[in-house]
Amino acid sequence: MLPLQDGKNAEKRRNIDNLIAELREKSVLLKSKLNPKVLSLIGDQVRLMNCYYSNLIEGHPTKPKDIEDALKGEFSNVAETRDLQLEATAHIEVQRTIDYGEHGFEEIVSEDFIKWIHRAFYENLPESLKFVVDDKAEERIPIIPGEYRTRDVIVGHHIGVPYKDVDSFAHRFCSAYSISKLGRHEQVAAAAASHHRLLWIHPFLDGNGRVARLFSHAYLKEIGVGSDLWSVSRGLARDSEKYKRMLAKADSERDGALDGRGNLSLFGLQEFCIFFLQCCIDQIDFMGRLIDQDGFLGRIEAHTNVLIAKGELHPKSFKLLSCAVKEGEFGRGEVSEIMGVSRALASKTLSELLKRGLLQSIDKKAPVRLAISEEAKEYWLPGLFG
């Protein structure tokens, strides 16, 4: 499995170092774009987006609306669609647990944590998605949630490590990429390298791609670079052919004396790390543009004006939405003052916005916050699923 880090080739190392510095800087700036309460709302949408793109990589295209419906407990009567909805909710729940730090693991670079990702995901899948088919043996092989594979596998051109050696490779993996053993700079490089090496080991019978992406999400978050505001899965899915090529390059055996000193290609791993870090930066840039407060408010205002022109909202509705974005929340008693209208008209306008799903409140006495309806998402967060 060596090399485990990206090596000391001067040119590529310099490139990787620059990308690491840029990634750290931009990840910090992203968290200051909007009020924290609004950022939490954006995080809900990003988890949905992450699931959508991760499904695409797996060849399981799920419509965003189907995922939204599933999160509300509304499942399709079509078995195939319903199964994909259940798969989506399982993925989102695992990521939500990671994002909120509710998994209970102090050390995420551990076999227990990696097995937990697999188990937490697969335990909530329908039975139709809990097996793989061995075409040669003409048998269906059940997937045991959270358990390493007990047979050898070939994935495309890649031969997974012998199943009897998975334990020892996984142990070496966790030792090499342990966050506590690495400096801050090394941690970011390790986030990229470990993504490939986990897939290279291929510890589970199925679900390795999804586990690797969720593991990388957790790793980036743990080292203070990742957050629930962006997802590398979107970048990997949008350039899936290059993603596969870069993985294959990093799978390659060492090519001569200049290509590192391990069994695998150092150049291949470096190329993959560069690609992975570029994807991370690209996605932070994308989300940074999307949640920049001025731009975000501008799109909300444009959408509100469309609804006002149709006679569906009061002309001063945007004042409430703007306040929710800037302040995070407001009390119901403040609505009249914010809008500059009578209490009766303020109450009516608020009701319209709540009913339309543009604002939300847990009850009639609780503060009011921003909400993002399915209709609004298209206008407020364009390109999230495109």
Active site residues: 202
What is the DSSP annotation of 9-48? -HHHHHHHHHHHHHHHHHHHHHTTSS-HHHHHHHHHHHHH
Distance CA 133, CA 83 (A): 17
- Tell me if 206 is assigned to a ligand binding site: yes
- Tell me if 234 is assigned to a ligand binding site: no
Under a CB-based contact definition with an 8 Å cutoff, are residues 324 and 370 in contact?
A: yes
- Tell me if 133 is assigned to a ligand binding site: no
- Tell me if 210 is assigned to a ligand binding site: yes
- Tell me if 171 is assigned to a ligand binding site: no
- Tell me if 211 is assigned to a ligand binding site: yes
Phi/psi-derived region of residue 116, left when phi > 0, alpha when psi is between -120 and 50, beta in every other case: alpha
> Cis peptide before 145, with omega less than 30 degrees from 0?
no
Distance CA 276, CA 19 (A): 10
- Tell me if 158 is assigned to a ligand binding site: yes
Distance CA 297, CA 380 (A): 8
Q: How many CA atoms lie within 13 A of 173 on its CB side?
A: 29
Distance CA 23, CA 267 (A): 21
Give me 99's structure tokens. 């994002």
- Tell me if 156 is assigned to a ligand binding site: yes
- Tell me if 207 is assigned to a ligand binding site: yes
Let me know how long the chain is. Answer: 386
- Tell me if 135 is assigned to a ligand binding site: no
Give the annotated binding-site residues for ATP. Answer: 155-158, 206-213
Give the annotated binding-site residues. Answer: 155-158, 206-213
